[in-house]
Each structure stands twice: as structure tokens, then as C-alpha cells.
Amino acid sequence: MRPVIIAANWKMHTVPSEAGPLAATIAARTADPDVSRVICPPFVALADVRDALAGTGVAVGAQNVHHELAGAHTGEVSAPMLVGLATWVIVGHSERRRDNGETDELIARKLDRARDAGLRPILCVGEQLAEREAGRAEAVVDGQLRGALAAALRSDAGPAPDLVIAYEPVWAIGTGRNAFGSDAAAMADAIRDTLGRIGFVDGGAGMPILYGGSVTAANIGEFLAEPAIDGALVGGASLKPDEMAGIVGRAGVTARARLAAVG
């Protein structure tokens, strides 16, 4: 059975002095052994959050990683630098694609670095509004997956064995437009279809797929009601303990229902 995962992306919020206490509060408010929880703070707060979460069962993730191991890349952070600070990493987030011009080829290299360092990657994919309105949503996501994963599948090492994919409908993030659970489920099915076509052994059936589009405690139930969706990549709401308590609480209900269904 696929795990149920709630990952918090704090983006460019919190300073180290407040990040640790906030992480500890969220960990205490979301204790649920059936849900995998991850908090991804800014780079400068990784150590504080790591220390605050020690013994809580909540993992720490980084929000990005560089595609080279070392070199003249001022301001960047490599995968070896993250070892000991984080065990997860977000790769290819829509804001990185938009603001930093990250291409699928570059994202593929980042996935390779994460795999080699033993970091568990959350690969983000998703379409813009114009692409959805043109009927190209699934084609766009298919291309992103092929670009990010095909090279790894051709290599001896293969893709990270514990890869997670987050579907981000960019048109539903902070725009006032809402995606429905059925939208996310249809894309999750399309993602697994692509994974099967490009060579994943189980046809993508075992791949955890998260929804990441303005997730809140009020709407998480609609997405987790879909069997194809295995959790969420949470943005702004992940900075609010009450919201996270509601999101993880609902995720726990889903996880236990799925466990009961398989006996």
C-alpha cells in the first residue's frame, strides 16, 4: 500500500529563531503514526528545524538542491551539503521553474544528485492555466515526467527508489481558481500511465502522488477521498499549526481506512 504523506513547504518564510519552535508545535499538533510528515523550511533554518524535530517522527526536507556536487556556484547548496540536515528534498517546484528558468533537463540532474546523496525527492510537475485551457494539461505533465526521469531510467542507477511526485496545477495556486478532487485524480492516473510507458517496473502503481494546489484543512478531504491521491504538498497553510493539525488529521483518517481495506 502506498504511504500517505503530508509535506510542508514553508517557502521563503520564517527565520531560524522562529522556525524551530514552529516546527516543534506542528509536530506536537500532528502526531499520527499512520501519516508520513515532512517539513521543508528555508535553508537557513534547516539545522534549527532538524534539532526541534528530533524524536518526533517528522522528517526534514530541503526546498531545492543544486545540480552539481560542488563548484563556483555562489549562493547555491549541493546535495552533499544537505546530508545530515535533511532527508527529503523538493525538486522542480513550479516557482523554481517560473522564477529560475529550471528546465526538465536541469531537474533531471538534480534528481540524480538527490539519489546519489540518499535524499528522498519530491518531484513537482504541473501545467499553467493556458496549457489547461488549450487541452494540453496531460501532455505538458507527460513531457515534464519524461524529461526529468527518462535519463535516470536509462542509467544503471535508475531513478531514486523512493521517489514521490507532487502534482501542482499552477493555475490553482494563489489565483482564486480551484481545482477539484476529480482534476487531481485524473492527472494522477495520467502520471502513472506515463510512468508505465517510460519503464517503471510496476507501471507506476506504487508511486505516491501528492496534490499541491492551495491545500487547506477545509479542502484536503476532497483530494484524499480520491484513491489515486496519497497526500499533499502544503504551502501557505503549512505555516499555521491549526491548519496542519486539520490536514494531518484528515490524512490519518484516509491512511487508516486504506489499511483496513487491505486487511
Catalytic residues: 93, 168
Cα–Cα distance between 36 and 256 in angstroms, integer? 13
Which distant-in-sequence residues (6+ apart) come within 8 Å of 211 by Cβ?
166, 167, 179, 184, 223, 229, 231, 232, 233
Cα–Cα distance between 148 and 108 in angstroms, integer? 4
Cell of 51: 534539532
Upper half-sphere CA count for residue 117 (Cβ side, 13 Å): 29
Cα–Cα distance between 70 and 6 in angstroms, integer? 31
The closest alpha carbon to 33, from 247, 258, 251, 262, belongs to: 251
